[in-house]
Structure 1
Amino acid sequence: MSVLFEPWSPAFVANPYPAYERLRSEGRVHWFEPTRQWLVPHYEDVSALLRDRRLGRTYLHRFTHEEFGRTPPPAAHEPFHTLNDHGILDLEAPDHTRIRRLITKAFTPRTVAALEPTVRRLAAELVAKVVEEGGGDLLADVAEPLPVAVIAEMLGVPEADRPLLRPWSADICGMFELNPSEETARRAVAASVEFSDYLRTLIAERRRSPGEDLISALIAAHDEGDRLSEQEMISTCVLLLNAGHEATVNTTANGWWTLFRHPGQLAELRADHSLLPTAVEELMRFDTPLQMFERWVLDDIEIGGTLVPRGSELALLFGSANRDPARFTDPDALDLGRADNPHITFGAGIHFCLGAPLARIELLASFGELLRSAPTMRLTGEPVWNPGYVIRGVDELLVEL
């Protein structure tokens, strides 16, 4: 493989798409020595491998670390792994099946639909403040607080405690980047302990006095006598916050950065708000918030004539798959009216994002409110990108009206 993939390079993070184009042209799978992963850049392969039961988000349901040829994580990291390993994103059947079924009993389509008025109200309040002040940082003022407030409202987190959530989430999500440092791990462990302790207290309160919130519903959820353990509930709540807002935050900020760079498309959207549903899907495809999704190879597989042995790790490149010309017509063009748009931003298979319907409600609310209330909004400077590649987003997005 040519030296194309540079996830620690600021220039690559700011625009990985030319490199993806070359990766796709040079083959279906590429070995990347710095992270010891196989990179998979094509849509058809990524889509199929997300559904392939020879792969897994974990291998511990079948092998020990030693049997799989892997070194166990340091004992000091245990609080992070206990939290992470009990969430459905990093589980396989039968545990994944059981826990997801129970969560689905609490996190129903009716629950999500009932949140829409709350989401719209919160979006209107946040945008009104930006309008009143004549501009600000779209990331800090709208993109971040909206999904955090929605998740907090769902879980029944008191308003005074909500500022704790985003820092905890950011520190935990640092461990999902490539080759995280020991300092990143230390912060993730501390956040895991603090967040878990906080939720343990909140769960105990809801056991004593149930409410209309999701934690109360998770406590009550049962299936043929089976219930979620306390750790499974804690891990579920943390996952709902982390996965439930990182994509929304970065789709909002990255999406507006994309629109500002395509003034013709932005003008069309401002003139015709009925384009908004397809526009949101296109913005998620065009600049994907989660660039990479990793899976372990549980049994030998072959990709494009290359044998990938058991014990390997695949890095499925969502950002590249969503720009693959084999699946999308003119993929490097932003088309807010794109009708045929089966992007894989929310994943596929058993790990398809449980919160996708809620994320869409949040995105439609925030983009819609900004289009209505701030029709003259413009960028005041080019943003700087966060160093993270896997969860990719700008550090700020300064605007004025």
Structure 2
Amino acid sequence: MSETLSTSVLLADAAEQRAWRAKLRGAGPVHRITTQSGETGWLIVGHEEARNALVDLRLQGRTATVGHGRRMPEDLERALNSHMLNVGPPDHTRLRRLVSAAFTRRRIEQMRPRIQELTDELLDGLAGADEADLVAGLALPLPMRVLVDLFGIPAEDCADFNVWTKVLTSAGAVDLDRLTTAAGEMVAYLRGLLDRKRQVPESDLLSALVAVRDGADRLSDDELTSMVYLLLTAGYETTVNLIGNGLLNLLANPEQLVAFKADPDLLPQVVEEAMRFDSPVQIAVRHSTEPVEIAGQAIPSGALILVSLLWANRDPDRFTEPEVFRVDRQDNPQLGFGYGFHHCIGAPLARMEGTVAIGTVIRRFPALRLAHPASSLTWRASMVMHGLTALPVHLR
């Protein structure tokens, strides 16, 4: 293990993080790290070690208030964090079974024509311009409009929802008071929305989650708000980043863009490589429930564990040329969607949105190119999420 790191390294830009990976190479897959509040934890950067940590029942989920030295009020913690990412079997098995009964593959597949329609509509709005921002013009609005349809969220509520999720997924980069305010507003909104779905159920996913049961078992109120929060956040923020990061890396690597245009059947591999190369989620947060040993490092009970999906996906012990974006990469067990029983339940929807959006943009605008050097683009200040603030491009 090398020197103690600071969680500020997880807020660094792409070039600085790449320099840190090079500096730490050979120093082991686990590193001591200190949060902004002075808490000491461990950062897992090795692919094998990260994959094992994601399914280690001794490592349980921990809320995103990490780094503040104190936590949100207990009622808000329960209302937002009583979901399956924060528990292992048998609780995880029960929750996933209940949610899967509503969030079916058939329901997701039925969304494909609508996702294509929405993508075409958004690109129609950009088509007359010479320059556009593909984050603001496509990557942000597309997942939100998909969720409006899928979850039955009133379109007029989207602006507030966007503000809340931005704050709640920026833990480590915003103060706890702001985090708590956003959490309180989000919980109040979700409870009101779910109450309306109970009174007047519709054909959307939220109504299905309210109604779903397995025998006498059903989701509790805290489990409902937590699960909806998780599905909305995962279905929105991560998909925004998948689309934006994927398009950036195609445009920043012209030879790879040419290869993809020559063989459009590579589109699924492009999406998987986007998930690997610039994972939409940087870290999974865990804590140890008993003493554990990871890669020879003794970790005490109650310790903070940060599983770096982004860095594990660049592990040279697992990937050939890990710092190179390749559209034809075959062996790609990327961890961007998690692993094992914590594999993202919304991965099929995210993949569908990513393939439709990225494929359509590249077909629609054959002269598409970056308006500014990739190195000048800015990334969101978040320890958890990994995505661009803007992607300015020339359309013709």
Shared fold, TM over 0.5: yes
Task: Please give the alpha-carbon distance, in whole angstroms, between the structure 1 residues aligned to 2:31 and 2:2.
Answer: 9
2:136 aligned with 1:145: no
Instruction: Tell me which of 127, 130, 135 is aligned to 1:134.
Output: 130
> How far 1:220 sits from its partner (Å)?
1.7
2:392 aligned with 1:398: yes
Counterpart residue number, 2:347: 356
Counterpart residue number, 2:257: 266
Task: Please give the alpha-carbon distance, in whole angstroms, between the structure 2 residues aligned to 1:302 and 1:42.
Answer: 14
Would the aligned equivalents of 1:288 and 1:345 in 2 still touch at CA under 8 Å?
Answer: yes
Would the aligned equivalents of 1:80 and 1:192 in 2 still touch at CA under 8 Å?
Answer: yes
| One-letter amino acid of the counterpart of residue 313, structure 2 | N
Q: Deviations over 1:18-67 (max 9, x none)?
A: 312332411232212344111111111111111111211159xxxxxxxx
2:219 aligned with 1:225: no
Alignment of 1:1-400 (within 5 A): 2=2, 5=5, 7-8=7-8, 12-15=12-15, 16-34=17-35, 35-58=39-62, 73-74=70-71, 77-175=73-171, 177=172, 181=174, 184-381=175-372, 382-400=376-394
| One-letter amino acid of the counterpart of residue 392, structure 2 | L
> How far 1:96 sits from its partner (Å)?
2.5
Task: Please give the alpha-carbon distance, in whole angstroms, between the structure 2 residues aligned to 1:142 and 1:5.
Answer: 36
Q: Deviations over 1:349-383 (max 9, x none)?
A: 22211111100001001101101111211111231
Would the aligned equivalents of 1:290 and 1:391 in 2 still touch at CA under 8 Å?
Answer: yes
**Fraction of identical pairs, as percent:** 36
| One-letter amino acid of the counterpart of residue 379, structure 2 | W
| One-letter amino acid of the counterpart of residue 145, structure 2 | A
Counterpart residue number, 1:67: none
Between 1:10-19 and 1:188-197, the stretch displaced more is 10-19
| One-letter amino acid of the counterpart of residue 114, structure 1 | Q
Structure 1 unaligned segments of length 5 or more: list them. Answer: 60-69
Task: Please give the alpha-carbon distance, in whole angstroms, between the structure 2 residues aligned to 1:168 and 1:71.
Answer: 18
Between 1:360-369 and 1:160-169, the stretch displaced more is 160-169
> How far 1:5 sits from its partner (Å)?
4.5
Task: Please give the alpha-carbon distance, in whole angstroms, between the structure 1 residues aligned to 2:184 and 2:90.
Answer: 27
**Deviation >6 Å, runs of 4+:** none
| One-letter amino acid of the counterpart of residue 387, structure 1 | A
> How far 1:306 sits from its partner (Å)?
2.1
Alignment CA distance shift 1:5-1:124 (3 Å): farther
Alignment CA distance shift 1:9-1:58 (3 Å): closer
Would the aligned equivalents of 2:288 and 2:301 in 1 still touch at CA under 8 Å?
Answer: yes
> How far 1:348 sits from its partner (Å)?
1.0
Would the aligned equivalents of 1:151 and 1:240 in 2 still touch at CA under 8 Å?
Answer: no
> How far 1:235 sits from its partner (Å)?
1.6
**What's the TM-score, normalizing by structure 1?**
0.89
> How far 1:399 sits from its partner (Å)?
1.1
Q: Deviations over 1:137-188 (max 9, x none)?
A: 111111111111112211101222222221111112123x3xx55xx32222
| One-letter amino acid of the counterpart of residue 333, structure 2 | P
Q: How many residues align?
A: 385
Task: Please give the alpha-carbon distance, in whole angstroms, between the structure 1 residues aligned to 2:304 and 2:181.
Answer: 27
Alignment CA distance shift 1:238-1:225 (3 Å): same
| One-letter amino acid of the counterpart of residue 25, structure 1 | G
Alignment CA distance shift 1:21-1:319 (3 Å): farther
CA RMSD of aligned residues (A): 2.3
Q: Deviations over 1:234-271 (max 9, x none)?
A: 22111111111222111222222222221110122123
Q: Deviations over 1:90-125 (max 9, x none)?
A: 233343222221111000111111111111111111
Q: Deviations over 1:212-239 (max 9, x none)?
A: 1011111221101111123322221111
Alignment CA distance shift 1:372-1:4 (3 Å): farther
**What's the TM-score, normalizing by structure 2?**
0.90
